[in-house]
Structure 1
Amino acid sequence: MTGAPAASQHPAPPHPAQRRTLVVLSAAQALGGVANGVALGVGSLLVEQVTGRAELAGLAATLLTLGGAGLAVPLARLAHHRGRRVALTTGAMLALLGTVLLAVGGTLGSPWIVLPGFLVLGGATAVNLQSRFAATDLSQPRRRGRDLSVVVWMTTIGVVIGPNLIAPGDVLGMALGLPHLVGAYVISGTATAIMAAVLWFLLRPDPLLESRADAPESSGARPALRLRDHPRAIAAVVAVAGAHATMVGVMALTPVHLEHAGHALALIGFTMSAHTAGMYALSPLFGWLTDRVGARSTVLLGAGILLAAILANLLLGPDLSPVGLALLGLGWSAATVAGSTIVAAAVEQPLRPVLQGRSDLIMGLAGAAAGASAGPVLGLVGYGGLNLAMVPVIATVAIAAVLATRSRSATPAPHRVP
């Protein structure tokens, strides 16, 4: 099987700090997921409340996504110079500032404070994304996919628990004299503060700085990454961004489609829960597949599942929408875990944080663009047309995966990625 190291190679034992790194990153990922789950779950309602305009409610998710994308590169550069601990803690503190702005803006009823708050809260998104790469800093190449996927899986805890804390948060807020919906951000801010503390005090030794100890000759390299010199890296980034755009484009408008079809909130909620479960619950399986059969095969599997999701949405009808959305989440998970594994090894070690930051930036922008354009596409050609519009994007994911694992001009690790 490609991608599996031969038994005769006698791979080196795991780095002694790797287990601790994974535990700390997993705990932070769960806390960040709770913070994001609460904040985003009530975000659209808060925007509608402070603006008085229902058509602006979607700005919460859009600004949160753009904030995470915009912070991706600065935090990656900070990681390059100061290490993961400083960069991830900085992102968490920015997210904490975002929750404060949202609480203050919600209390004052000011959209001019609430909307920037969602942008700054994007720091939590950036931390969650970059944590998956931090999990690979000390990984053995043969376990890179599994280590990355474990941290991704921990988001499941947050997205399950987070929305269920909205109502208790509102009760807490009312007891504190805060307006309706604002109390949720007390919960979100508390989880974010604990996440920052966990990263600052427990992420020792710093995994990125520790990884450089094995290659001291490159530790002083500057992050002068020119993507045109790394076609494999470009293709890997395109694969991840394409899968994300497909997922966001279809997912964002499915609730609207179901509501227009006359379905109750119960089905809409169940459909979105099935989608979220698909995104995260099986990520360790896809990490294992990445290491055992190869990243290329796993991305292609993800592209195939995404195509199956499109077919399900076209053929099964609204009543069975949970099937299509669950497949959409599974396809995203497979392509993102395996694609991120390729990104993590696409360039030499000194350039990895910079590439990872750019990958998160492009991934976020692709998702935001897909979400923003999905509405007009739905209005022009309907839900079926929206799904069909994603087929070329899925094809791009598959082609990019092949290109990312064919070019050998920049293969820093001895482990064979495909």
Structure 2
Amino acid sequence: MAWDFSTEPEFEAKLAWMREFVREEIIPLETLDLDWATYDRITQPLKDRVKEQGLWASHLPPELGGGGFGQVKLGLMHEILGQCKYAPGIFGNQAPDSGNAELLSVGGNEEQKERWMHPLLRGELRSCFSMTEPGAGADPTMLSTRAVLDGDDYVINGHKWFSSNASVADFLIVMAVTDPDVSPYQGSSMIVVPVDTPGVNILRDIPVMDHPWSGGLDGGHAEIIYTDVRVPRENLVGNPGDGFKLAQQRLGPGRIHHAMRWLGQSKRAFDMLCERAVSRIAHGSRLADKQMVQDWVATSAADMQAARLLTLHAAWTMDQVGASNARNEIAMIKYWGARVLHDVIDQAIQVHGSLGFSGDLPLEQMYRAARAARIYDGPDEVHKESVARRILRGYQATEVPTEHIPTRREAARKKFAEQLDLATANA
């Protein structure tokens, strides 16, 4: 089957508008020290312009206010949005809100959509996806948070952390075990929990490499204790035991968008690397004339192109056959794209020297954020293992005889001796 990543001219015009809009209107926001109130006031007119272009919440179908774009188009859009951390929010697809809206659109009932999803899409609410736990780490089958049905309510008890956005969220989507007697893949569920529900104890925003301070527009990664949190059973998303199925529907497209945003970030760092290389004179010549820097430029260009093609192919595969049939493609872009992102930014910093290490350029912040890409949404090692496991299923062990096996060297020596004897006889 031939691959085709092309898009129609009308959409290419939209991408061109996005490139200029992000460059001229959004990236300059990085120079400002914004709190939430100022951010909302400044960005609302920008969001209105995005809506006028029909590009708001493009990951959702038109009936929910989105563009109904496939994954290839969304990937191309996210490549542009990845240049600046503010851009996804201004386009209505900032994680975790975008994934939660998509989750509710798939698994939510009409009341949940009306109460939570539509206000979320309009930017009137903020949300959190509360799944990760201390101790469970990269193995979600070890989740210990429990939700027990008591009459018409679920009662939730557990300990979560890295619940991104929780400190500023209006509601949480909590992953909890609802049936401990079956496989975790069939016994876990998702439940909507308003953040002001009694028993929701947000302890702190965990300091991390990306932003070692609390609060701010990053939303933070909260540690939460759920103590006898009681919510109506109608807050269950989908059916009991649907947790993992819904999580995969949420994470598959999310990884495509992550990988394409990483490419946008990589390209911005790469442009800075190249501009520095042709501008900076050191030891009698431009950095661009030095073979070491030329190697960085050539390798980074090839790595980014490979990541881009891998990601677009994964997006195209999802459009053709669905996320469940594109698991290898999605997993590969996760670990390959994260490495490319890190390496390109690292080399851009190196070319800039002390300036790249300083806060006068965005590279140092980009570098700290890039390191996390190899951990969140599943560490690289887990994705590599799953890819290798699925690939190896397509091979069968060969039957190797155990007696009278000449080694390759012995076979080659015997063949050479026969040829030598024949040559000698003919002479």
- TM-score, normalised by the number of residues in structure 1: 0.31
Structure with the bigger RCO (C-alpha within 8 Å, sep 6+) is 1
> Whose strand fraction is larger, Structure 1's or Structure 2's?
2
> Whose helix fraction is larger, Structure 1's or Structure 2's?
1
Larger Cα-atom Rg: 2
- TM-score, normalised by the number of residues in structure 2: 0.31
